[in-house]
Amino acid sequence: MLKGIDPVINAELIHALMLMGHGDQLVLCDVNHPAHTIARHTTYGRLIDVSGCGLERTAEAILKLFPLDTFVDAPVKRMQVVGDPESQMPIFSTMQTVVDRAEARPIKMDALERFAFYEAAKNSFAIVRTSDPGPYGCFIFSKGVI
């Protein structure tokens, strides 16, 4: 354990966060996401698991360390509901609250169609899979600077 580091942040996750630079993207997802399949395409090249923890708690822990990008219009992306892109799942508003609170300002969150999200995830730095049962708990955070 380290002082001041949330215990949700395991050694592999902190290592990946430290390797990331400005503009790199981190995927945070639920257990339904094909994370292991997509993770091999990322810069990091393997999946980071945060077992026993949900999306909200994991995002809160990460965003204490991870600044969101201020040079892009929407530093957070989420997956759209298949067949109903205007639909709102409860996790969308939950994560909106988490990111707004972490940055102490309103944060724009864009929605991506399912396969567009998968492509964006492949181009990310790393994928972090939580134990959240979902559905549609799939988010991409763009890293900013301190």
CATH number of the domain within which 126 lies: 3.40.1650.10
Q: Which pLDDT score, from 0 to 100, does residue 1 have?
A: 67
Q: Which residue is catalytic, options 49, 69, 132, 136?
A: 69
- Structural domain boundaries, residue 51: 11-142
Domain count, the chain: 1
Give me the pLDDT at residue 42, please. Answer: 98
Q: What percent of the chain has pLDDT over 70?
A: 99
Cα 108 to chain centroid distance, Å, stands at: 14
Q: Tell me if 4 is assigned to some domain.
A: no
- The catalytic position among 30, 33, 118, 132 is 118
Q: Is the pLDDT score of 18 beyond 70? A: yes
Q: List pLDDT tens digits, range 64-106.
A: 999 999 999 999 999 999 999 999 999 999 999 999 999 999 9
Per the listing, tokens 């945060």 go with 50
CA pair distance 27, 16, nearest whole angstrom: 12
Provide the pLDDT for residue 73.
Answer: 97
Residue among 22, 36, 84, 110 flagged as catalytic: 22
Of 1-5, 27-31, 40-44, 84-88, which range is least confident? 1-5
Does residue 1 fall inside a structural domain? no
- Check whether 132 has a pLDDT greater than 90: yes
Please state, in angstroms and rounded to a whole number, the distance separating the CA atoms of residues 60 and 98: 6
Burial (0-12, 13-18, 19+ Cβ within 10 Å), 38: buried
